[in-house]
Amino acid sequence: MLAQVTPERDLIRCPLDTLVIGSSIGRNVSPFNSVYGATKFAVHCLTEALRRQLGPKGIRVTLVEPGIVRTNFQSNANYDETWFEVYCKEIGPVLDADDVVRVIDATIGLPGHVNLDNISVKQTRQSYP
């Protein structure tokens, strides 16, 4: 990507983006899955370092931190299926991957001099994390 930063390239009209997917758990570590939370906290720190390295060169770096998103993560993380469905009804409708993609599309569609560096995206009724 650094090779694409040339004097001929208009970084305002044709920006360069690095997007990193983290998690809201990276800022609000859960007592139920501390290792996962710690790794997402590390993603936040790494992304900030990358932003400080690449931003001055004209490359935008954005961390997207979704809340609860309905994916296969819940089954892979051994969530209790009944509990998860009840929770989804409480806070729903729950985000899906397309919701996160729409946020990313809006972000990379901004002019090159505008950088949303950290984006937290949750369903409206999600109070934690």
Domain residue spans of the chain: 10-121
Pick the CATH number of 10-121 from 3.40.50.300, 1.10.10.10, 3.20.20.70, 3.40.50.720: 3.40.50.720
Share above pLDDT 90 across residues of the chain, in percent, rounded to a whole number: 73
Q: How far apart are CA 19 and CA 63, in angstroms?
A: 6
How far is the first Cα of the chain from the last one, in angstroms, to the nearest whole number? 34
Mean pLDDT of 35-45: 93
Choosing from 36, 87, 122, 128, which is the catalytic residue?
Answer: 36
57 is catalytic: no
> Does residue 36 carry a catalytic annotation?
yes
Sign of the dihedral defined by the CA atoms of residues 37, 105, 85, 78, in that order: negative
When pLDDT is cut at 50, 70 and 90, the band that residue 104 belongs to is: very high
Per residue in 58-103, pLDDT (tens digit) is 999 999 999 999 888 888 878 888 988 998 999 989 999 999 999 9
Exposed, middle or buried by CB within 10 Å (0-12, 13-18, 19+), for 125?
exposed
Chain-centre distance of CA 121, in angstroms?
8
